Amino acid sequence: MAPKPKTREGRIFTGKGPAPNISGDWNPGRFLDHIRGRAEATIEILIGIAVLKKLGLIHQGQFVSSTGAVWQDWKGTARNKRAHRFPCNPTIGDKNIPDIPSSKRLQDALIEPLAITDFVTFEVNYADELFEHNGGVASALHAIEYVLNLQPPNQTVDVNVVQRGARLALAGYERTYTFVEALLLDRVNEESPLQMHARSVKIKQKPLAPTLNIEAIQDVADDFARLTGAIEPRRIKPEGIKQLADKLEQLR
């Protein structure tokens, strides 16, 4: 048996070789990649759920929950964070999804969308944390439950079920980022002029403290909400769903 990848604080790092070189600052292209990547990871995970249901490895009504991230491709740094695209590590019947099949090849394929991360600034990373805790995880799990319960067992992957599940998740993501933006606005509005001035002074002293630069995180949440509402995953078309479903099934 091959040795398990090295772990830190329970995290399993899956990246091979040295981490990718990060150059330049955060830019709109990377911002868009993170949002589009979240949509792609979401539908890939939902296709995986549908395939596992087709293979009889999971069943309608099983308990769906989540944990913190288990797999991650690369380590980040204090300034250059790496944020997961999918907002949680979902579990079905108290099992991590990749642990359900016995095939190592299928396990590895199911790990990929759970492990993938993007280089982000600390403001974006903090906005992601607020997103996860205020509805992002719940939206992802709701979509998983939808596909788990409506994909017919032992039958061809239902494209319509996967599509509807993905759109449920994305609509929930958009609502959550809108809520996060409002939450941050409330924080600012509750401050007195003296408190706001004191916070601006602290930002200069601790530029990497995300809870101080509330306005920057508001901007991130606003951009995330707008972009999430405007983007659909490339794989949401029937041919994209069928292609990945067939690939996963061949790995069993």
Tell me: the pLDDT tens digits for 203-251? 878 877 777 789 889 999 999 999 999 998 999 999 999 999 999 999 9
Instruction: Indicate the domain borders of the chain.
Output: 27-250
Q: Give tens-digit pLDDT for 193-213.
A: 888 888 888 887 887 777 778
- CB < 8 Å & 24+ apart, contacts of 187-191: 187/214, 188/214, 188/215, 188/218
The residue among 108 and 9 whose pLDDT is bigger is 108
Tell me: the pLDDT tens digits for 74-95?
Answer: 988 777 789 999 999 999 999 9
Classify 135 in phi/psi space as left (phi over 0), alpha (psi -120 to 50) or beta: left
- Find tokens 């995180």 and name the residue: 217
- Expressed in angstroms, the distance from the first to the final Cα of the chain is 18
pLDDT at 174 over 80: yes
- Report d(CA 110, CA 96) in Å as an integer: 10
Q: What six digits make up the tokens of 218? A: 């508001």
Computed over every residue of the chain, the mean pLDDT equals 90
Instruction: Evaluate if residue 23 carries a pLDDT over 70.
Output: no
User: Cα(188)–Cα(95) distance, rounded to whole angstroms?
Assistant: 41
pLDDT band at 3, cuts 50/70/90?
A: very low
Residue 120 has pLDDT above 60, yes or no: yes
Q: Sign of the CA dihedral 29, 32, 34, 39?
A: negative
CB 40 within 8 A of CB 85: yes
3-state secondary structure labels for all residues of 56-82: CCCCCCCCEEEECCCEECCCCCCCCEE
